[in-house]
């Protein structure tokens, strides 16, 4: 179903590229505009600009509390959108109400037509960021259907009309920028945060967050006028052409009025090296493997820039000019610099839509033949190859460049929203980073389906898209993949990647000298929290992770992938289903012969036959709040019908899958197995009983709380405490960080309140509140904080808080 929301309400029902006008599952003529809305009005009176304005006026009549409210009758949709974007509560409420009414109106028509996509264009679609969340939520309560907004309505209308008459002229479809059912981060936060918050934000201490190209380019044109040169650098995957086009348009409009010369644009690819494939391929290693070697020793300027071309360009610039693209910052040391960032999840969505790719990948892909089924060779799909290049080449180099450019940034731009960037001036951004180092931080989580994924995350995290069939993973806090959201007093939102924060503030986060020495690199935050959901799903693959030396020598990671499983929920407990037991596969049975096991794995892969898993591997029953230890070289897998909180070392891609139950991935192919890697990283004397944590009681305050130590394995460089608090809001528990960070999550209960001293320490307290299963970081700079349970539903049995932190003697484990 395609809609236009503007001066009128237009609709088109399309089935197999044919417009449906007369069929029993669509209204007469396919027209919704004249469909009855209520007994007195038709839909066009509600779902048009005049309908939007009428909703706004109704809100003013009902809630007027300012003189200005009573005088605002001469308002149009554009002015209303500007007011909402600038934080006017009543204007924002009008858009939210409009979206709610529209969603409820559309549900029966979408259901009857069995629509599998909803496309919205027209003038109101340009304010999509004000209606997308509520519209998705309203429709999502009944239907799972993706919603897309078309932002080029005049052009789309013309093309649509021509297409109806001359379809043979069109051989390609317009590209969707991102391929995902997940919503874009809204420009303005309107989502209810009473439960799990998918858009956690942190208010900036000074300044504001700007919205849109227009405001931004007014600032940039002033910089061009003053300096005659502007540099626009940014992260891999950024659509620089969009920014160049909008900037040129703004400049051209101004230049015509003031009779100024044309603005010259230079693409930074003009001085990119094109003859370094051998070097780049050396980090990607085998073309038949998902693993490579981190390019942490490469620098953008030294290894990817052709110095002679850069010097030539620098000496032959025409002014006024803009140099745009990755590496543009190297053209001039002191010119104003704009940096455009892109969150990693949005980059992956663009890669899936084929609108972004690795910037540093070899010019020619080195494809080697697969020689034998008895090796770990695997034919990578284009998407898998792109992600491999991003992880091992682009990320190390671009993250380092971004950190290097931070002091020079005149403006920081969040470039994830097509046609609607948000931005901060450089000084405001740097002060925000410094401020974050003194308050609790929660990164923005994101979620992915998988072949073994479950249904619990969809049910509990209700604001995520309900369209996917399952969710397997939550990137709750895997810092190389997460961003942090900033907000201003108007709830305007801008996201930046974690590495910019950690690279500039790691000492404040880590605290003591030992931990700073070990983990102060921009990509070295040491602990991750993430969820594995298998409720009504399947078992994870039988797997293991590399030892420290293997990790360093083969992949150039500094730490290895030690893990633990904390059982957050089981189907048996959640649904009170006694028939649904859960287990963890962990450790070998007695006297397993390594070569026999190796041959059994190869036989299973070679002949596509099931492996008798429990002949070789122990299966341990699991229940809520159990804690299992998985040091490197330990065979393991989560069984079905439970939710696991992984409390683990940060590396997350080095999973050597040994057996995957002969199932297909989401792409319809068998997933790659890493039997040869895995056999080099297994300890056959590891037993399940040794790897089940035995909690130790540390302290009891009768009627208030109980504190336990959950000892980790001797190879783990982090430790875990568990705090059980009675459901009484008058209880306060004081904790000291002892000059090291605490990574926390409430794993039972409604919410937890954190009170701490503000940075000025002048008897001023700050308070934060975190809901059930929300991860939050207490940096070492907060020396002491106080916890208080918050009861929201009145049925809490207990509140359970998990806290992970680095061991004091972790240095000896990393020698």
Largest CA distance in the chain: 86
Question: Is 193 within a domain?
Answer: no
Question: Is 507 within a domain?
Answer: no
Residue 549 sits in the same domain as residue 653: yes
Which domain, by its residues, includes 622? Answer: 456-480+527-691
- Domain end marker among 169, 199, 230: 169
The pLDDT-based confidence of 89 (bands split at 50, 70, 90) is confident
What stretch of H or E contains 549? Answer: helix 548-555
Measured distance CA(755)–CA(775) in Å, rounded: 16
Question: Is 521 within a domain?
Answer: no
Residue 173 has pLDDT above 60, yes or no: no
Residue 733 sits in the same domain as residue 647: no
Measured distance CA(764)–CA(197) in Å, rounded: 26
Q: Is 216 helix (H, G, I), strand (E, B) or coil?
A: helix
Measured distance CA(544)–CA(563) in Å, rounded: 10
Question: Is 490 within a domain?
Answer: no
Measured distance CA(495)–CA(551) in Å, rounded: 32
- Tell me which range, 186-200, 362-376, 399-413, is most confidently predicted by mean pLDDT: 399-413
The pLDDT-based confidence of 74 (bands split at 50, 70, 90) is low
User: What DSSP state is assigned to residue 272?
Assistant: B
Residue 280 sits in the same domain as residue 356: yes
Give the phi and the psi of residue 339 in degrees, each rounded to 5: -115, 130
Q: Is the alpha carbon torsion for 185, 189, 191, 192 positive or negative?
A: positive
| CATH label of the domain that carries residue 790 | 2.60.120.10
What stretch of H or E contains 266? Answer: strand 264-267
Residue 399 sits in the same domain as residue 302: yes
Mean pLDDT of 4-25: 88
Residue 731 sits in the same domain as residue 657: no
| CATH label of the domain that carries residue 160 | 3.30.420.40
Question: Is 591 within a domain?
Answer: yes
User: What DSSP state is assigned to residue 559?
Assistant: S
Q: Within 10 Å of residue 218's Cβ, how many Cβ atoms?
A: 12
Q: Output the CA–CA distances (angstroms, integers) from residue 88 to 189, 203, 561, 652, in the order listed.
A: 12, 17, 47, 43
What are the tens digits of pLDDT across the range 674-685? 999 999 999 999
The pLDDT-based confidence of 68 (bands split at 50, 70, 90) is very low
**How is residue 763 written in tokens?**
């008897």
| CATH label of the domain that carries residue 419 | 3.40.50
pLDDT of residue 161: 36
What is the number of structural domains in the chain? 4
Residue 153 sits in the same domain as residue 39: yes
Q: Indicate the pairing of strand 229-234 with strand 337-341.
A: parallel
Residue 525 has pLDDT above 70, yes or no: yes
Nearest of 97, 85, 83 to residue 492 by alpha carbon: 85
Residue 265 has pLDDT above 80, yes or no: yes
Residue 547 sits in the same domain as residue 680: yes
Q: Which residue has the tokens 């044309």?
A: 262
Q: Output the CA–CA distances (angstroms, integers) from residue 85 to 109, 128, 208, in the order listed.
A: 31, 11, 12
Measured distance CA(360)–CA(269) in Å, rounded: 11
The pLDDT-based confidence of 224 (bands split at 50, 70, 90) is very high
List, in sequence order, every residue forming a beta bridge with 787; answer none if it has no partner.
Answer: 733, 754
Mean pLDDT of 714-730: 97
How many helices (H) and strands (E) the chain has is answered by 23, 36
Sequence-separated (6 or more) residues with CB below 8 Å from residue 231: 322, 323, 324, 328, 329, 331, 332, 335, 336, 337, 338
Residue 671 sits in the same domain as residue 786: no
What are the tens digits of pLDDT across the range 453-464? 999 999 999 889
């Amino acid at each position: 179903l395609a809609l236009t929301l503007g001066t009128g309400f237009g609709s088109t029902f399309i089935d197999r590229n044919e417009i449906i006008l007369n069929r029993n599952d669509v209204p007469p003529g396919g027209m919704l505009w004249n469909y009855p809305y209520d007994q007195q009005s038709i839909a066009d009176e509600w779902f048009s600009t005049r309908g939007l304005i009428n909703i706004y006026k109704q809100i003013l009549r009902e809630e007027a509390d300012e003189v200005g409210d009573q005088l605002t009758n001469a308002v149009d949709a554009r002015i209303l959108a500007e007011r909402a974007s600038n934080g006017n509560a009543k204007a924002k409420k009008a858009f939210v109400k409009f979206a709610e009414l529209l969603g409820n109106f559309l549900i029966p028509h979408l259901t009857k037509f069995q629509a599998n996509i909803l496309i919205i264009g027209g003038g109101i679609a340009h304010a999509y960021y004000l209606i997308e969340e509520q519209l998705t939520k309203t429709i999502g309560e009944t239907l799972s259907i993706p919603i897309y907004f078309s932002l080029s309505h005049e052009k789309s209308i013309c093309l649509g009309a021509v297409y109806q008459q001359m379809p043979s002229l069109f051989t390609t479809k317009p590209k969707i920028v991102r391929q995902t059912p997940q919503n874009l981060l809204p420009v303005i936060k309107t989502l209810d945060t009473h439960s799990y918050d998918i858009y956690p934000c942190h208010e900036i201490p000074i300044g504001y967050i700007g919205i849109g190209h227009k405001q931004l380019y007014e600032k940039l044109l002033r910089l061009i006028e003053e300096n005659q040169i502007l540099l626009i650098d940014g992260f891999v995957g950024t659509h620089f052409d969009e920014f160049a086009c909008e900037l040129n348009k703004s400049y051209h409009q101004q230049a015509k009025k003031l009779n100024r010369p044309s603005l010259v644009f230079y693409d930074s690819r003009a001085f990119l090296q094109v003859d370094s494939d051998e070097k780049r391929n050396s980090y990607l290693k085998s073309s038949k493997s998902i693993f490579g070697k981190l390019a942490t020793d490469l620098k953008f300027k030294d290894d990817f820039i052709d110095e002679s071309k850069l010097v030539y360009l620098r000496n032959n610039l025409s002014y006024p000019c803009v140099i745009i693209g990755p590496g543009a910052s190297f053209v001039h040391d002191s010119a104003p610099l704009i940096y455009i960032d892109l969150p990693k999840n949005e980059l992956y969505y663009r890669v899936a839509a084929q609108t972004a790719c690795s910037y540093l990948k070899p010019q020619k892909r080195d494809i080697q033949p697969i020689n034998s089924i008895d090796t770990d060779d695997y034919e990578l799909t284009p998407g898998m190859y792109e992600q491999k290049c991003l992880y091992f080449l682009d990320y190390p180099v671009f993250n380092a460049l971004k950190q290097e450019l931070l002091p020079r940034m005149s403006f920081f731009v969040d470039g994830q929203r097509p046609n609607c960037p948000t931005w901060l001036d450089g000084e405001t951004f740097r002060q925000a980073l410094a401020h974050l180092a003194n308050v609790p931080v929660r990164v923005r989580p994101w979620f992915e389906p998988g072949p073994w994924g479950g249904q619990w995350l969809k049910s509990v995290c209700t604001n995520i898209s309900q369209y996917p069939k399952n969710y397997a993973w939550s990137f709750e806090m895997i810092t190389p993949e997460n961003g942090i959201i900033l907000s201003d007093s108007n709830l305007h939102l801008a996201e930046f990647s974690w590495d910019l924060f950690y690279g500039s503030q790691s000492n404040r986060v880590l605290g003591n000298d030992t931990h700073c020495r070990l983990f102060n690199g921009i990509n070295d935050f040491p602990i991750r929290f993430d969820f594995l959901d298998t409720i009504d799903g399947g078992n994870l693959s039988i797997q293991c992770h590399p030892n420290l030396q293997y990790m360093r020598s083969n992949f150039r990671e500094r730490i290895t992938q030690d893990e633990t499983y904390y059982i957050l929920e089981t189907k048996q407990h959640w649904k009170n289903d006694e028939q649904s037991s859960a287990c963890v596969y962990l450790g070998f049975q007695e006297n397993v012969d390594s070569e026999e096991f190796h041959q059994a794995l190869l036989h299973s892969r070679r002949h596509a036959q099931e492996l008798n898993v429990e002949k070789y591997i122990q299966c341990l029953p699991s229940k809520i709040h159990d804690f299992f230890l998985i040091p490197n070289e330990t065979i393991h897998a989560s069984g079905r019908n439970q939710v696991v909180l992984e409390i683990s070392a940060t590396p997350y891609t080095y999973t050597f899958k040994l057996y995957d139950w002969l199932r297909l991935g989401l792409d319809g192919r068998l997933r790659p197995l890493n039997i040869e890697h895995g056999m080099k990283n297994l300890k056959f004397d590891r037993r399940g009983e040794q790897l089940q944590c035995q909690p130790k009681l540390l302290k009891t305050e009768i009627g208030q709380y109980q504190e336990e130590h959950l000892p980790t394995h001797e190879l783990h460089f982090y430790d875990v405490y568990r705090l059980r608090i009675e459901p009484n809001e008058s209880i306060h528990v004081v904790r000291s960080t002892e000059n090291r960070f605490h990574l926390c999550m409430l794993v039972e209960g409604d919410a937890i309140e954190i009170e701490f001293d503000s940075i000025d320490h002048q008897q001023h307290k700050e308070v934060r509140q975190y809901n059930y299963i929300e991860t939050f970081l207490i940096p070492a700079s907060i020396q002491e904080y106080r916890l208080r349970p918050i009861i929201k539903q009145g049925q809490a049995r207990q509140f359970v808080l998990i806290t992970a932190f680095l061991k004091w003697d972790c240095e000896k484990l990393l020698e």
